[in-house]
Structures are given as C-alpha cells and as structure tokens.
Amino acid sequence: MRQGITDNHHSESTGNTTALNSVQKAAIELGINLEALPSHIAIIMDGNGRWAKKRGFARLLGHREGYKTLRSILLAASELGVKYLTVYAFSAENWRRPEDEVAGLMKLIETAARDELRAMHQNNVRVCVAGRKEQIPLGLRKALEHGIETTKDNTGITFTLAVNYGGRAEIVDAVKSLITENVPAEQITEDLISQHLYNPNHPEPDLMIRTAGEMRWSNFLIWQSAYCELFVTEVPWPEFSSKQLLEAVSTFQQRTRKFGAVVE
Ligand code: FPP
C-alpha cells in the first residue's frame, strides 16, 4: 500500500513511558516546548500555481504536489501533538478560476477524501468541513459527508477542510441562523456569534501559516483569527515540509500573546 495521509508513525508506548516520535524529537532539538504547542493551526496553502508555472507544468500539477504536501503535513502535525489543523482547500472566491482548474481541484479533493479516509480513520483523525456545503458538487459533498460520519467519534487530531469557504460568508450564515432562531438583538454577543459558526466547538486558531509569501488573510477564518499569530513563509506550498512547520511553531512560541492587554 502506498503511504496514506497518516500512516502510522506514532510514538511507541513502552509501559508507562511514551517514546518521542521523530517529529517531536526534531521539535525538541529546535527548542520547541511540547507542552505549549498551538492547539489549532490554520494553513493558507498558497503557491501551487506559481510552483508549477516556474517548472513549465500545468497549474493542476501544482495542486497535485500540494496534495502530497498536505498528506505529510497532516501526519507531522498529528505526530507533533497539534489537536486541530484547518486548511484552505477551496475558497468561495476560487470559483472564479478557469473551469478546468476548478473541475480538476474538485476532483482532486474528492479523490483525496476517498483515498485517504481509511488511513485517517485508522489513525484516529476526525474529519470536519467548513464552508457552504450546498454548492459543493455532489460527488465531493458525499465523499466529505462520508468522511465526517465515519470519523466523528475519533479522538486524535481534528482535520478540517475548508471547501467553498469564505470568512464573510460564514459570518453572514451565522447571522442568518440567529435570525432564523428569532434571537433578539440585545441577546447577540460575540460568544453567540461564535456558537453559530460552521464548527462552533473548534477552538480558535492560535497560529495561521501562509505559504508563498503573500501578506494577506484572503477571507480565511476572519472571525476566529482575531488574535491568532501569523507566520508567512516564502516557501510555496508544494515545497513546504515538517521543517517549516516546526519553524512556524518555534516562531509562535517566541511571540508574546497579549489579547489586547498589557504584558510586562
Ligand atoms: C492556492 O494556490 C491553492 C489552492 C487554491 C488550492 C489548495 C489545494 C491543494 C493544496 C490541493 C490538495 C487539497 C486537498 C484537500 C487534497 P494557487 O493556485 O493560488 O497558487 P498561486 O497563487 O501560485 O497561483
């Protein structure tokens, strides 16, 4: 069997002591504190197209390489001990891309969802989706729903695919559901809006990584990332590896999070 998205490389337990896996060992060598990891990492996987163009390949080939990267980063994040990983697979604005790229991306995500499900389930990964599901093509939607249902009781890393996702659309959808529930205006609080987002039980991201150098949010988790730390790398997504993941976590741990307060 070819290597799946999270084929088992987990730390081996020997009696009461748990041996560290290779990702954790590399993290410790970089001075990362395994007790203070970001519990939720969000990633804007950018640069697939530029990576392909630079090599004279079709853009879709860049996305295929991006899929390979995603598989290894999910594994690395899980081994490191990150509890939530959310990735921007297809934005609500990505429909504006050429038709063949959109169709190719949908097919790629569907194939990935089907092919990786077994390995993810075996490795205790819980799959979630963020985005407007109704507009996702039926084949992909069914594959995602099957993945969510199959893994819903898993207790390992929660892996959320943002598909047909827009941060503003998510806020609009939350407001609509509040109105549908007849919630009076004076009862609307930030907490209540948070509780009406696509995945209300997920903690807010602590760290957002963007590859390929652009300094923007691109409408990703804009409500939830109000206080998250940003890490932007020039490395395009197809070349991103656990080395850069650890660099991002290490940088995160060197930041002082203030949440608007004064920290002496
Ligand atoms: C941005 O690169 C990337 C995307 C719009 C799609 C991300 C998709 C993948 C990584 C493919 C695999 C995903 C799954 C879930 C299997 P870009 O095309 O905007 O790059 P560019 O800015 O260089 O053109």
Q: What is the pLDDT of residues 47-69, one digit of tens each?
A: 999 999 999 999 999 999 999 99
Distance separating alpha carbons of residues 36 and 51, to the nearest angstrom? 33
Does the Cβ of 117 fall within 6 Å of ligand 1? no
150-42-31-24 Cα dihedral, nearest 10 degrees: 20
258 within a domain of the structure (yes/no): no
**pLDDT tens-digit readout, 228-247:** 999 999 999 999 999 999 99
In a domain, 112, yes or no: yes
Answer whether residue 11 is part of any domain: no
Confidence class for position 259, pLDDT limits 50, 70, 90: confident
The minimum-distance atom of ligand 1 relative to the CA of 67 is: 12
Query: For this structure, is 21 an active site residue?
Result: no
Domain contains 133 = yes
Å from CA of 143 to ligand 1 middle: 19
Our answer on whether the CB atom of 74 is closer than 6 Å to any ligand 1 atom is: no
Task: Kindly give the pairing relationship between strand 84-91 and strand 40-44.
Answer: parallel
233 in a domain, yes or no?
yes
**CATH number for the domain that contains residue 181:** 3.40.1180.10
Range of the domain at 40: 23-253
User: Based on the structure, what is the number of domains in the chain?
Assistant: 1
- Residue 263 within any structural domain of the chain: no
pTM of the model: 0.93
Annotated catalytic residue: which of 21, 33, 46, 100?
46
Residue 146 inside a domain? The answer is: yes
Mean pLDDT (the chain, rounded): 93
